[in-house]
Each structure stands twice: as structure tokens, then as C-alpha cells.
């Protein structure tokens, strides 16, 4: 589903997440199992899927779309520098998510804006995501990571 199709189907309001929920997502990004459990127990499965989608899990992105978490899907796309997704976030007044994606993309002004608004939890989330992306990139470019990816690819072809 394209962002244009999503835009036509978005009459629902975006779910509001408390700063605690965003903090739990940060902890989950860093691998905290109790934070993962907290997100699941507090009906925030879509936040778990958001991290998985950022890490290129197509099923997680589909989950976000199918369950009408369009702003989170746009957030994922905006992190990967999709300007239409960023505009979608702005149009939907999801400014915190838009600024968070911009921080991941190196925008210092976005960080200053969130800091001025007292949204430090979104800054922490952006930094956690950026670190995870860098770790994933390092893992994928190391000799062991390349071999593991080749084996995973061969396994996927057999399935």
C-alpha cells in the first residue's frame, strides 16, 4: 500500500503514547526483555513492530499498515529518508515522530526543537534507533556477518 493510498484511508486519530511507553521502546531497542514484555502487556505491540520494520522486517511493516498504524509506518519510512512519509507525518500533526525521524537522519534542529518542547524521550528514542541501525550495519559488513547473511539467504531460497 502506498502512502497515497494510506492518506486516503486515514480518518482515524493516531494513538497517543505516554513518555513511559516511548521510554520502554527505547529500552527494547537496547535489548531489554522486560521492556519488550511491558510493551506487549500494555497493548503497544505496534511499537515493537515499528522497531522490527525499521530493521527491514517486511511482515512488521505490513502489520503496521494492516492494523492502521499509519503514522508509525510513515515514521519508519521517514527514517529511511522518504520525503513523502515525512510530509505525511507533518500533515497528520505527528510532529514528535517527524522530528524523531529527522534526528536519526542527522538534523540537529529537530533535536533542539524536541528539547525545547521537553520531549527528551523522543530524542532518546532517535539516538537508540540510530545506534541500532549502526550496529546492524556493522554486523552486516563484518566478515562473520556477511557469511551469516549468505547462509540466511540460502536458507530463505530453500523455504
Q: What is the pLDDT of residues 131-158, one digit of tens each?
A: 999 998 865 554 544 454 445 545 545 5
**Res 60 pLDDT > 70:** yes
Distances (CA, A) of 92 to 5, 60, 66: 15, 22, 18
> Domain total for the chain?
1
Condensed to tens digits (0 to 9), the pLDDT of residues 67-121 reads: 999 999 999 999 999 999 999 999 999 999 999 999 999 999 999 999 999 999 9
Round to whole Å and give the CA distance between 79 and 143. 27
Q: Can you tell me the mean pLDDT for 7-20? A: 75
Alpha helices in 30-69 (DSSP H): 33-41, 45-54, 58-66
Of 66 and 159, the structure prediction assigns the larger pLDDT to 66
Asked whether 48 and 41 are in contact (CB, 8 A), the reply is no
Q: pLDDT at position 49, please?
A: 98
Contacts for 93-102 with beta carbons within 8 Å, 24 or more apart? 94/14, 96/122, 97/71, 97/72, 97/122, 100/75, 100/125, 100/126, 100/129, 101/75, 101/126, 102/78
Q: pLDDT at position 80, please?
A: 93
The C-alpha cell at 35 is 521492556
With bands split at pLDDT 50, 70 and 90, how would you rate the model's confidence at 13?
confident
Q: What is the pTM of this model?
A: 0.80
**Res 57 pLDDT > 70:** yes
Q: Can you tell me the mean pLDDT for 50-78? A: 96
Domain span holding position 70: 3-158
Could you identify the residue written with the cell 492494523? 67
Round to whole Å and give the CA distance between 136 and 144. 13
CA-based radius of gyration for the chain? 16
Q: Can you tell me the mean pLDDT for 29-37? A: 97
Amino acid at each position: 500500500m502506498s502512502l497515497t493510498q494510506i492518506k486516503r484511508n486515514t480518518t482515524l486519530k493516531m494513538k497517543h503514547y505516554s513518555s513511559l511507553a516511548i521510554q520502554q521502546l527505547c529500552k527494547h531497542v537496547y535489548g531489554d526483555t522486560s521492556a519488550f514484555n511491558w510493551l506487549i502487556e500494555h497493548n503497544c505491540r505496534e511499537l515493537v513492530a515499528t522497531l522490527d520494520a525499521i530493521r527491514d522486517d517486511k511482515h512488521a511493516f505490513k502489520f503496521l499498515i494492516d492494523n492502521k498504524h499509519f503514522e508509525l509506518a510513515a515514521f519508519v519510512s521517514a527514517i529511511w529518508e522518504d520525503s513523502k512519509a515525512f510530509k505525511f507525518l507533518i500533515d497528520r500533526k505527528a510532529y514528535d515522530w517527524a522530528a524523531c525521524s529527522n534526528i536519526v537522519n542527522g538534523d540537529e534542529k529537530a533535536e533542539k526543537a524536541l528539547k525545547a518542547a521537553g520531549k527528551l524521550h523522543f530524542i532518546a528514542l532517535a539516538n537508540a534507533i540510530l545506534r541500532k541501525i549502526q550496529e546492524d550495519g556493522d554486523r552486516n559488513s563484518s566478515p562473520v556477518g556477511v557469511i551469516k547473511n549468505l547462509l540466511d539467504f540460502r536458507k530463505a531460497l530453500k523455504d
